[in-house]
């Protein structure tokens, strides 16, 4: 549920220098592909900035690779790999950037351990991690609250943590990083009714798969999302925690 070309990587850009090697985790969504091309464009002809995009979906990576070729960015590479076991050499990157990754994995500390492994000593870790518990949704009706509670429950059952942003600084410290700096930034998120529609769709898909073993709490949340979508307009401002740390 990211907002497309929204500037999520802006806090990373001042950290980049020509000649660096940058790892971009979770690069497949459209916003991620845009971040990869934007970062790669900061290099120069004599000192290119090489960006390696990593994601688990091979088909989507092929699309990302094709999009990169069309935009004439020749200093990008794409690798299919799990974030908990990166198929990359140790100490081979100057910067690791991950947008919207730690909230969707079962083992965020394992991901951060891999980030530490592939970074060179003194390398930088840059994370953009959502905290849905602080997301501002206006108007915040009873149906909106019920739908968000059900969706949060679903995400946790699937192994993620929609409020990962509130824990990320502790996880980074546990992984051995130093000079940790974090700040919360609010971005205009998905369209108000579109967010409700997305939540309704995700809940409905799980309920269809469950059949007669349908969870009544998720069913109730899906009904609330249905009501949300058919209500009036509103605004969404999503909380993202931006964290920078040194290997």
Query: Which pLDDT belongs to residue 30?
Result: 43
Query: Which pLDDT belongs to residue 177?
Result: 98
Span 4-40, pLDDT tens digits: 344 788 898 899 888 899 999 876 554 444 566 566 5
Low-confidence stretches of the chain (pLDDT beneath 50): 1-6, 30-33, 44, 64, 66-67, 69-73
Tell me whether residue 208 is exposed, middle or buried, using C-beta atoms within 10 angstroms of its C-beta: 0 to 12, 13 to 18, 19 or more: exposed
Residues of 154-183 as b/e, b for ≥16 C-beta within 10 angstroms? bbeeeebbbbbbbbbbebbeebebeeeeee
Query: Which pLDDT belongs to residue 81?
Result: 87
pTM (2 d.p.): 0.84
Query: Which pLDDT belongs to residue 77?
Result: 81
Query: Which pLDDT belongs to residue 127?
Result: 96
Query: Which pLDDT belongs to residue 70?
Result: 38
Query: Which pLDDT belongs to residue 42?
Result: 59
Check: CATH 3.40.190.10 for 13-132+159-189+237-246?
no
Query: Which pLDDT belongs to residue 27?
Result: 64
- Cα 27 to chain center, whole Å? 9
């Amino acid at each position: 549920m990211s907002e497309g070309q929204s500037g999520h990587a802006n806090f990373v850009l001042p950290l980049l220098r020509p000649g660096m090697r940058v790892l971009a985790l979770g690069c497949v969504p459209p916003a991620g592909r845009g971040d990869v091309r934007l970062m790669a464009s900061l290099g120069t002809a004599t000192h290119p900035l090489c960006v390696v995009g990593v994601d688990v979906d091979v088909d989507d990576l092929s699309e990302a690779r094709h999009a990169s070729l069309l935009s004439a960015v020749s200093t990008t590479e794409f690798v299919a790999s799990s974030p908990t076991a990166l198929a990359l050499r140790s100490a081979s990157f100057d910067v690791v950037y991950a947008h919207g990754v730690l909230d969707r994995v079962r083992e965020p500390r394992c991901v951060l351990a891999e980030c530490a492994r592939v970074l060179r000593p003194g390398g930088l870790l840059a994370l953009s991690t959502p905290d849905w518990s602080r997301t501002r949704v206006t108007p915040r009706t009873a149906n909106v609250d019920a739908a968000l509670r059900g969706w949060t429950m679903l995400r946790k059952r699937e192994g993620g943590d929609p409020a990962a942003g509130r824990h990320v600084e502790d996880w980074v410290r546990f992984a051995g990083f130093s000079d940790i700096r974090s700040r919360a930034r609010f971005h205009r998120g998905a369209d108000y009714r579109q967010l409700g529609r997305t939540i309704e769709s995700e809940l409905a898909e799980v309920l269809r798969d469950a059949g007669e073993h349908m969870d009544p709490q998720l069913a109730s949340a899906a009904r609330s999302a249905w009501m949300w979508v058919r209500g009036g307009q509103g605004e969404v401002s999503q909380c993202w925690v931006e964290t920078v740390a040194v290997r």
